[in-house]
Structure 1
């Protein structure tokens, strides 16, 4: 509702400036929405299916497997994946520098195997492009894969990158300190707060019997 109202307001302001309409009926209207995260996430079974798909099925395109695994296990955004370069990799330590994160991200064996498969795909194209994800359009240059290309990479698996990434962030924020997650991901601390569930786990309360049902804060 909030997004639709913003778009509607933009259109009506344009229409009024062009004298298509005389009055902007959206002026002053507001839409109240939930402050916390309200997007769709993956179930545990769906995560397992995707993990098996990207680690065991050779027919899956290497770019899909890389983008999917980085989002599923490491909370990587599409931009972090498409901007990843070979110089950002440390084969000895098996780490990758993702985006603006302050420290290299250690990759688990499954993720590193998927990365190596993507590097083999890149090597087969005989390109000097420094990026890990190289397409037919970018192999002759040095630019990263386009945003449009990356947005379609996961179509075959049936889930968008944002949904997969949000699943990981939601789990991390609700099992760890949100400030630590923000620091590790190079995010604004306020950006992680929306992923907090609207309850406090009773196992973390000093006296669950007295406070159960009374805690509604997000911290």
Structure 2
């Protein structure tokens, strides 16, 4: 099997089913690991890439230095199918729509799936070119405590209601023609990076 390394720094091959979990990971925690393991299983993925963002345009304050967050992610997650990546910094992209377009251009034939928690689905319509993202690749949504109702009633869920795939068919998501999205309820850890930052403690992650 031939794996190709491009300007993204990722070793991927055509035909692979690859989940993309984006975020600032400031700091990374066990909740990120849990959602990743669930996504691998529920969506039948070959890889999950943690796209550690240089910065989140929706957040008013910048995150910790990228190098520190990458190091923390790599220290936390130890799984042969999980890749921690600085692809956005390499590509010079900060908005998800542009990152996805660049990754798809750099890795033709890879079946990318955008992954997110239900809390992100609830406010997804605020993202830059959100409808373009939904049309670009399948989206896997994993429920988090307290976010199920707002996510199911979100603008994105309403606009793309006809594109929703049943949870029973979740393992087919990566091969689906977009727009396609799947909402799955999974056991979740009630953790957030913002709560950990508020405690000023990374040691429990």
Query: Which protein has the larger Cα radius of gyration, Structure 1 or Structure 2?
Result: 1
Q: TM-score if structure 1 supplies the norm length?
A: 0.25
Higher relative contact order (CA 8 A, sep 6+): 2
Q: More strand per residue: 1 or 2? A: 2
Q: TM-score if structure 2 supplies the norm length?
A: 0.26
Q: More helix per residue: 1 or 2? A: 1
